[in-house]
Amino acid sequence: MTDLSGKVALVTGGSRGLGREMALAFAAAGADVAVVSRKLDACERTAAEIEALGVRALPLACHVGRWDGIEPVVEAVYARFGRVDILVNNAGMSPLYPSLDAVSEEAFDKVVGVNFKGPFRLTALVGKRMHEDAGGSVINISSIAAIEASPGALPYAGAKAALNALTLGFAAAYSPNVRVNSIIVGAFGTDIADH
Segment holding 178, helix H or strand E: strand 178-185
CB 112 within 8 A of CB 163: no
Annotated catalytic residue 78 = no
Marked catalytic residue, from 78, 97, 156, 174: 156
How far is residue 23's CA from residue 47's CA, in Å, rounded to a whole number?
9
Q: Residue 155: is the preceding peptide bond cis (ω within 30°)?
A: no
Q: How many helices (H) and strands (E) does the chain have?
A: 7, 6
Amino acid (one-letter) located at 9: A
How far is residue 49's CA from residue 56's CA, in Å, rounded to a whole number?
10
How far is residue 54's CA from residue 150's CA, in Å, rounded to a whole number?
43
- Chain length of the chain: 195
How far is residue 95's CA from residue 108's CA, in Å, rounded to a whole number?
9
Give the active site residues: 156
